[in-house]
A and B are shown apart, each in its own frame.
Chain A
Amino acid sequence: MVGLQKAILLYFLGINLLYLFLFLLSLWAIIDYLRHTSYRDPREILQSRLTPPLSILVPAHNEATTIVTSIRALFHLRYPKYEILVINDGSTDQTLHKLMETFHLRRTKRIYHKTIPTCNVKDIYVADQPMPWVDLIVIDKEKGGKADALNAGINVSRYPLFCSVDADSILEQDSLLRVAMPFMERFPGTLAVGGIVRVANGCQISEGVVRSVKVPKRWLPRFQTVEYLRAFLSGRVAWSKLKSLLIISGAFGLFKKAPVIEANGYDPRTVGEDMELVVRLHRRNYPRGTQGRIEFIPDPVCWTEVPENLRALWRQRNRWQRGLGQALFRNLPMLLNPRYRLLGLLGVPYFWIVEFLSPVVELLGYLVFLVAILAHVVQWQAFGAFFLLTVLMGMNLSLLAVLLEEMTLHRYPRVRDLLRLFAVAILENLGYRQIIQLARMDGVIDFLRKQNVWGFMERKGLESHA
């Protein structure tokens, strides 16, 4: 029993030190990034003939509440040439009807070029030139899941880059210009670039544009705000710097199309198609010696609606955990494989041990201590101290993430909001974190039971939050 307790403590000690290292690396990386961008003007890319055009893919399944706002927001993006492809993935609500009515779609004879196999495409519609520099194309297809919808979008897209965007998300006006910057710097050497996803709940949004950034009013989205900061700023920035980034969020990522087609697109058998694709791209490219860079940059912002009730949040975290398990399990040969350098020796083991197994270890820790107390092996004070330790560690990480945000990107201008974020960083460890760990544990169990359902997501609509 004591041996197990020691192992659990060692685990916590190890990940704490790793997190500290990742934080310091992120701080340095963000400052370095901001210095570099101060010598780059997005307007240059906007005016250039050399900027590669891109296709924005918006998979939509029963998104009638948010789809029109999201698409309108995409028309406001600043980028020289792009097309928007909405993929209606067998919606049973008014999604297609709303799109047809709002954007005056007409059916086209456009050929469906099935480069990547997908479910049947029923029709392809185009809008009658909503904006001179943007084409809107709607693909109506049979339901095949998000990955299948994205693959259909890739098949219809015309341009060498594609950007996947969730239908419940809003991109900031300059986000494409910023996310395309690494492709402008080294087109052949870049495979994919991800941007930061922030919580839209609580922000003032009108006509598809975020007018004012605020911390959400409800506690559940507030906790998620800090979680997102921690995941994106302290985590992905550092992993990107270590060339070991294993995930680009499905809500906002820019990919070079050719290597994705070569890899046969997204895998429709997973629920974590975004991570699975990135891991597979790494897996294909490293051994060939053609490892293109997969990067994360912290300032092109995508605003997304997060769950406001516990049931939806539970389902989401369960799915994320299953997706993580699927992506890691399918690419098991990368684990501790020196052929993949730091990615195989540090990145993949980190995702296995810390991201995938942390709910197991943490909940096991609580359980072991409880059993030990009941068996009079340790005193209850020891359990209290263990709990205090996990809370302290969690609190530190969240506080560091909020600090990182304030020291570098500074997106919450109001002092009141900043104080709220500090309070949330402390409070999230007293209950919320344990609930999330339970949801993730549920996901681990479902993964082992090979459950592969997506789960229903409730939407309030992006403009209803303020």
Chain B
Amino acid sequence: MTTPDFETLFRLSLLISAALLGLVSVLTLGLLASKLLRQVWTRHRLRRKDFYAPLLLQVLLKKSDSLQPAPLRKKFRFADAAIVEHDLLRWEEKLSGNGLRRLKQLFEKLGFSDDETRRLKSWRWWIRARAAQRLGQMECKKAQPHLLEALRDRVLEVRLMAAWALGKLGDPQAIGEIVPALAHSSKLAALRVTNTIAALGPAGIPILEDLLSNPDPEVQILAIQLLGSMKVTEAVEPILQRLESRNLELRIAAARALGAIAEEQSCALLENSLEDPEWPMRAVAAAVLGQLKRQEAIPKLKGTLGDRSWWVRLNSGEALAKMGRAGKRALEESLHAPDRFARDMAAQWLEEFEQGAAVGAVP
């Protein structure tokens, strides 16, 4: 194989550099053009917005219960549908009561809900996510089957938006679909689903309880987290059973949920978790017992002050520091413990106790 001569190579390099410079110029021009276009579009949007605002108000304020948006739709010119839809979505945030109800009807009658349902099938994920968001915002009930389908979308943002939209539609049965769809996703998904299910209210609780018997541990964990965050006392019994699960994550989720629900009956079993073979579980159990201020756990917590895991020792010390005088007494006694680690930890937490600044630690 012959290598190119120096001059050819040099020319090629210069050519590539010139091509790059060309790319820079094109991008710069493109940037300027896009800025210009954005300005033109903003001006056009404002003009059309001013044109449609009184017409929309007229339709919304009519006393008759039936909306007549057809003449309005006939007036639509290039991109007007997008401008009107955008305005309706903005008004939705400001209106309430009857005005809001009529606005949502108008959204549907102008065909926007059908447009957005179609967009749920777009090949661009951000269009699908936005469609789900808008359908939820306008509570388009007839879009529910499509939103349930969107829960299986390959892009997380679309799934999250679909879950949020289903929550806005207010059908508790949707929980049975939302939780399994998002259980494997992320903490962010769990967080969104918490808000969604909180929006559905107590009607969703039986469905969450049913999900505790789902064979998938991730689904169970999410259901436990949700029941804990909603402080469902009726769920204590099935959650307690999960403290004996083989799955560590499940045991930890159960302990945390029990801490959030704060029911007396859960405390005794949580004390047993201080003897769990896995240190993260022992650490969480100590933290939860401290959070619950369970005085009966003091002897065991004194014992775990000398645990082989630093996190367990730290959380046990913190738990004792949170238990008032009895906890302080236990810490003082531990200053004479045979175990050096227990003595050190007791000294540290006694100091924190005296400063009144017991802060939380997480393993």
Contact = CB atoms under 8 A, between A and B. Distances in A.
A392 interface: yes
B66 interface: no
Contacts of B156: 185
B6 to A, nearest CB: 5
Contacts of B268: none
Give the residue among B126, B161, B192, B362 with the most A Cβ atoms within 10 A. Answer: B362
Given A16-B13, A40-B157, 18 more contacts: A13-B13, A13-B16, A38-B126, A45-B191, A50-B187, A83-B359, A129-B357, A183-B187, A184-B188, A185-B188, A385-B10, A389-B14, A392-B20, A395-B21, A396-B21, A399-B28, A400-B27, A403-B24
Nearest to A407: B31
B267 to A, nearest CB: 21
A39 B157 contact: yes
A185 B129 contact: no
A160 B6 CA distance: 57
Interface in B299-323: 310, 314
Interface stretch (B43-51, B73-81, B340-348): B340-348
Given A5-B6, A385-B14, A407-B27, A39 B160 contact: yes
Interface in A7-62: 9-10, 12-13, 16-17, 20, 35-36, 38-40, 44-45, 48-53
Nearest to A161: B362
Given A12-B13, A158-B361, A400 B348 contact: no
A181 B186 CA distance: 10
Interface of B: 3-4, 6, 9-10, 12-14, 16-18, 20-21, 23-24, 27-28, 31, 126, 129, 133, 156-157, 160-161, 185-188, 190-192, 194-195, 225, 229, 310, 314, 344-345, 347-348, 351, 355, 357, 359-363
Given A9-B10, A184-B188, A16 B20 contact: yes
Nearest to B188: A184
Interface residues of A, number: 58
A69 to B, nearest CB: 25
Contacts of A36: 157
A257 to B, nearest CB: 10
Contacts of B191: 44-45, 48, 50, 184
A406 interface: yes
B357 A6 contact: no
A329 interface: no
Interface in A172-189: 181, 183-187
A395 B17 CA distance: 9
A186 B186 contact: yes
A360 interface: no
B6 A406 contact: no
7 contacts: A16-B17, A17-B16, A40-B157, A48-B194, A83-B359, A111-B345, A115-B310
A53 B18 CA distance: 50
Given A109-B351, A158-B314, A185 B24 contact: no
B20 A393 contact: yes
A432 interface: no
A186 to B, nearest CB: 6
Contact of A13 (B9, B21, B23, B190): B9
| Residue among A52, A129, A396 with the highest chain B CB neighbour number at 10 A | A396
A452 interface: no
Given A6-B9, A13-B13, A129-B357, A396 B27 contact: no
Contacts of B126: 35, 38-39
A50 B190 contact: yes
B287 to A, nearest CB: 12
Nearest to A110: B348
Nearest to B317: A111
B351 A108 contact: yes
Contacts of B359: 83, 135, 158
A82 to B, nearest CB: 11
A81 B28 CA distance: 43
Contacts of A13: 9, 12-13, 16
Nearest to A112: B344
Nearest to A157: B361
A387 interface: no
B24 A9 contact: no
Contacts of A6: 3-4, 6, 9
A128 B356 CA distance: 10
B346 to A, nearest CB: 10
B17 A393 contact: yes
A218 interface: no
A403 B361 CA distance: 45
Interface in A133-165: 135, 158-160
A108 B349 CA distance: 10
A400 B24 CA distance: 6
A185 B13 CA distance: 43
A98 B357 CA distance: 24
Contacts of B185: 185
